[in-house]
C-alpha cells in the first residue's frame, strides 16, 4: 500500500488540499477522495448530496460521470475497480437513490470488489422520523457490505473516509458504505487528514502465512500423482498471476480456473484445463473428480463449481485451501491443509522450495482428454452461432481485450470461448449473477483503461436492464464495443425449462423488445446488425474501425444451448454434452 505522500508526490494540488484550514464537510469529502487517489466518481445528484456536488463544481482533478440510474453508477464503479485494481467510488442521494445501489453493493460484496459508496441522508435531526426520502441505508446494507459508517460528526469525516478506503482495499476486499446526513456536509471543521495506516479495533487484515502449513502443502505435492489446482478470483485480486504461473511450472500441476479466475492463468498454457463446474470443460470436471490432491488457490468452492458437494472431488485424499479469509476455510469443503493469507504472499513463500509432483503420467492423461474433448458446437453457414461470435472477437482481439458480460448464456459463452491472456480481463458478476451488469461495468472498465479495447457481451434480456447508460457512452465518447447476443428469449431460463422442466416454457419470451440498432442510434451510438457469419465478420470489422462506442446486434437462434451442462443436484462429472457429442 503506497503512502499518501508517495501517491501524490508530483501533483500540484496535493499541498493545497492537505492544508489544515477551515472547510465544510463537503469540501472535506472531496479533499479526502483526492488524497486517497480517486480519479473518477460515478453517481447521480439528489437533495441530500447537493452540498457534495457543489464542492466538486469546476474541480478538474476529480472527474465525475453522471449515470442515468444509480445501479448503472455502482456497476460502473465496480467495473472500474475490477479492471484497474483500484477502489471504485460512487455517489447517491438518500432514500431511493441509496436503495437503488443495493443490488450493486451485494454484487461487489459477493465477488470481493473494493468500493467506497457515499450516500447522503436527511439531516441528523430528522433521522428516524420517516422524513422525505429517508431510508436506513446502513441497516439495509449491513448484511451485504464489508462495513458501513453513519457519520454524525463532521470532524470525523476525514478519519472515516481514510478507514473506509483501507477496509475496502485490504484483506478480503469489499464494498464499504459511508452514509452522511446533509447537515454534516454543510458544517465546518478544521481539515486534517490522517496519513498513517489506520488502526481499527478488531480489524487485522495482514495475516502472516503459517510456514508449517506451506511445508505440509509442499510435502503433499511431492507425493501426489494426480494433483489439480483450482484457481479463483483471489489470485487476480492479490495480483498473484505471476506467482501462480511460477508455482504451476515448478510443481507441474494442471490448473482449472473458476469464472472469476479466468485470466489468472494464461489460457494458451499446456497445463490449463479450462473452467470447471456447471458449464465447465469435460477435462477440468473429470480431473477434479479423479485428483488425489486438490489445491484451491483464492477460490471459495462456490456451488456452481462444486455442484453436488457430497460428490465433489471424491478421490482427493488431501484438500488444501489458500485463502485470505479464514471464514472460507472448511466452510464448504473439508480442508486438511489450510494456508491462510494473501495468495501472493503464500505462493511467494511456497515457490522458494516448490518441487514437481509425480504427475507426468497424469499430465499425459490430461493432454489426451483436452485433445479428445474440446468445447464443441455445431457450426452453420446460414444461422449465426453465438460461439462463433465469441471466437471471432477473441481471435480478432488476440485475447487482449477487457471483456465484460451480463449474466446467462452470454456470460457462459464468453467464459468458454474467449481466450483470456491476462488477469483483470474478464469483468463479470459471479456470486450474485446480476443481470444489467454488463454495459455499465464496461463503461467503468473503459474509463479506468482508456487505451484498452473493452467489449461488453450481453443478452437481449440483461442489456434492457441498464440500456439507459448508452447515454454515457455517447456523451463522453466512451469507445466500448457493445455486443448483444440476441435470441429474443431469456436464454438460460429457456435452456433450463427445456432440459429440466421437460420443455414447459413459461414466460421466457422477450417479444416486444426494441430494435436495438435504432435504440443505439436514438442515444447517439452507432448501431450495427448481423444475422449470419459473413455479416458478423463485416460488422465486427466495421465496429473495430470506429473510434467511439458501437452497439452490434448479433441475431442468433433461440434453440442454442450452453454445453457442457451439469443439472442441479448432479455431480460435476455428470455432464450433459448436448447434440455435439
Residues 6+ apart with CB under 8 A from 340: 207, 209, 210, 213, 323, 324, 326, 329
Contacts of 478 by beta carbon, 8 Å cutoff, 6+ apart: 443, 446, 447, 472, 549
Q: Please tell me which residue in 132, 188, 534, 542 is annotated as part of the active site.
A: 132
Residue 182 annotated among the catalytic residues of the structure: yes
Cβ-based burial of 25 (10 A; exposed 0-12, middle 13-18, buried ≥19): buried
Cα gap 272→320, rounded to integer Å: 19
For 217, phi then psi, to 5°, come to -65, -45
Which entry of 70, 134, 163, 328 is annotated as an active-site residue? 70
| The three cell numbers locating residue 440 | 455499465
Catalytic residue among 14, 39, 63, 133: 133
Strand ranges inside 81-239, DSSP E: 88-92, 115-121, 147-150, 175-181, 188-190, 227-231
Residue 448, CA distances (Å) to 38, 77, 514, 534 in order: 11, 10, 30, 33
* Cis peptide leading into residue 564 (ω within 30°): yes
Q: Of the residues 273, 492, 565, 575, which is catalytic?
A: 492
From CA 425, how far away is CA 448, in angstroms rounded?
12
What is the separation of C-alpha 207 from the centre of its chain, rounded to a whole number of angstroms? 24
Cα-flanking dihedrals φ and ψ of residue 281, to 5°?
A: -75, 155
Candidate list 182, 349, 385, 533, residue with the active-site label: 182
How does DSSP classify residue 229? Answer: E
Residue 402 neighbours by CB distance under 10 Å: 27
Contacts of residue 115, Cβ cutoff 8 Å, sequence gap at least 6: 74, 77, 78, 81, 87, 88, 89, 90, 105, 108, 168, 174, 175, 176
In angstroms, how far is CA 27 from the centroid of its own chain?
Answer: 31
Query: Does the annotation mark 492 as catalytic?
Result: yes
Smallest CA-to-CA distance from 133 within 64, 66, 49 is with 49
| Phi–psi pair at 171, nearest 5 degrees | 60, -145
Asked if 372 is an active-site residue, the reply is: no
Q: Any idea how long the chain is? A: 581
- For residues 101 and 44, the answer to whether their CB atoms sit within 8 Å is no
Residue 128's alpha-carbon distances to 123, 135, 257, 359, in angstroms, are 10, 9, 47, 63
Q: Which residues are annotated as catalytic?
A: 70, 132-133, 182, 492
Amino acid at each position: 500500500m503506497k503512502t499518501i505522500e508517495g501517491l501524490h508526490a508530483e501533483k500540484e494540488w496535493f499541498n493545497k488540499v492537505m492544508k489544515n484550514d477551515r472547510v465544510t464537510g463537503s469540501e472535506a469529502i472531496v479533499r479526502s477522495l483526492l488524497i486517497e487517489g480517486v480519479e473518477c466518481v460515478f453517481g447521480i445528484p439528489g437533495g441530500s448530496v447537493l452540498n457534495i456536488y457543489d464542492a466538486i463544481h469546476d474541480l478538474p482533478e476529480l472527474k465525475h460521470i453522471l449515470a442515468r440510474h444509480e445501479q448503472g453508477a455502482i456497476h460502473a464503479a465496480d467495473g472500474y475497480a475490477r479492471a484497474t485494481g483500484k477502489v471504485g467510488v460512487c455517489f447517491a442521494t438518500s432514500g431511493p437513490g441509496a436503495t437503488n445501489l443495493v443490488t450493486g453493493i451485494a454484487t461487489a460484496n459477493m465477488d470481493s470488489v473494493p468500493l467506497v459508496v457515499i450516500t447522503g441522508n436527511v439531516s441528523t435531526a430528522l433521522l428516524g422520523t420517516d422524513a422525505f426520502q429517508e431510508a436506513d441505508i446502513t441497516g439495509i446494507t449491513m448484511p451485504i457490505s464489508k462495513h458501513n459508517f453513519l457519520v454524525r460528526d463532521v470532524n470525523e469525516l476525514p478519519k472515516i473516509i481514510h478507514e473506509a478506503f483501507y477496509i475496502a482495499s485490504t484483506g478480503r476486499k469489499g464494498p464499504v458504505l459511508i452514509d452522511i446526513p446533509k447537515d454534516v456536509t454543510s458544517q465546518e471543521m478544521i481539515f486534517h487528514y490522517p496519513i498513517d495506516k489506520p488502526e481499527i479495533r478488531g480489524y487485522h487484515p495482514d495475516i502472516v502465512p503459517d510456514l508449517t502449513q506451506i511445508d505440509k502443502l509442499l510435502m503433499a505435492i511431492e507425493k501426489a500423482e494426480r494433483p489439480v489446482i483450482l484457481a479463483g478470483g483471489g489470485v487476480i485480486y492479490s495480483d498473484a498471476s505471476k506467482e501462480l504461473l511460477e508455482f504451476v511450472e515448478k510443481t507441474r500441476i494442471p490448473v482449472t480456473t473458476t469464472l472469476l479466475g479466468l485470466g489468472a492463468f494464461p489460457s494458451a498454457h499446456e497445463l490449463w484445463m479450462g473452467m470447471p463446474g456447471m458449464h465447465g470443460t469435460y477435462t477440468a470436471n473429470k480431473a477434479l473428480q479423479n485428483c488425489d490432491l486438490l489445491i484451491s488457490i483464492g477460490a471459495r468452492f462456490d456451488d456452481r463449481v462444486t455442484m453436488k458437494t457430497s460428490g465433489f472431488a471424491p478421490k482427493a485424499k488431501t484438500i488444501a485451501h489458500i485463502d485470505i479469509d479464514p471464514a472460507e476455510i472448511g466452510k464448504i469443503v473439508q480442508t486438511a491443509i489450510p494456508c491462510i493469507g494473501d495468495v501472493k504472499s503464500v505462493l511467494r513463500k511456497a515457490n522458494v522450495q516448490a518441487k514437481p509432483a509425480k504427475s507426468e503420467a497424469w499430465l499425459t492423461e490430461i493432454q489426451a482428454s483436452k485433445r479428445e474433448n474440446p468445447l464443441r458446437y455445431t457450426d452453420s453457414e446460414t444461422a449465426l452461432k453465438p460461439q462463433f461470435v465469441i471466437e471471432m472477437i477473441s481471435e480478432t482481439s488476440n485475447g487482449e481485450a477487457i471483456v465484460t458480460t451480463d449474466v446467462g448464456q452470454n456470460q457462459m459463452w464468453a467464459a468458454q470461448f474467449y481466450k483470456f491472456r491476462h488477469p483483470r480481463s474478464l469483468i463479470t458478476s459471479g456470486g450474485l449473477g446480476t443481470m444489467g451488469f454488463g454495459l455499465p461495468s464496461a463503461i467503468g472498465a473503459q474509463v479506468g483503461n482508456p487505451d484498452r479495447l473493452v467489449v461488453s457481451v450481453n443478452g437481449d434480456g440483461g442489456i434492457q436492464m441498464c440500456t439507459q447508460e448508452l447515454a454515457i457512452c455517447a456523451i463522453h465518447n466512451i469507445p466500448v464495443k457493445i455486443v448483444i447476443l440476441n435470441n429474443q428469449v431469456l436464454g438460460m431460463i429457456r435452456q433450463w425449462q427445456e432440459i429440466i422442466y421437460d420443455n414447459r416454457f413459461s414466460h421466457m419470451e422477450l417479444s416486444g423488445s426494441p430494435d436495438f440498432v435504432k435504440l443505439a442510434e436514438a442515444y447517439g451510438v452507432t448501431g450495427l446488425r448481423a444475422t449470419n457469419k459473413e455479416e458478423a465478420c463485416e460488422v465486427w470489422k466495421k465496429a473495430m474501425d470506429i473510434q467511439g462506442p458501437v452497439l452490434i446486434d448479433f441475431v442468433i437462434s433461440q434453440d442454442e444451448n450452453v454445453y457442457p451442462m451439469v443439472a442441479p443436484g448432479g455431480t460435476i462429472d455428470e455432464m450433459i454434452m448436448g447434440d455435439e457429442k
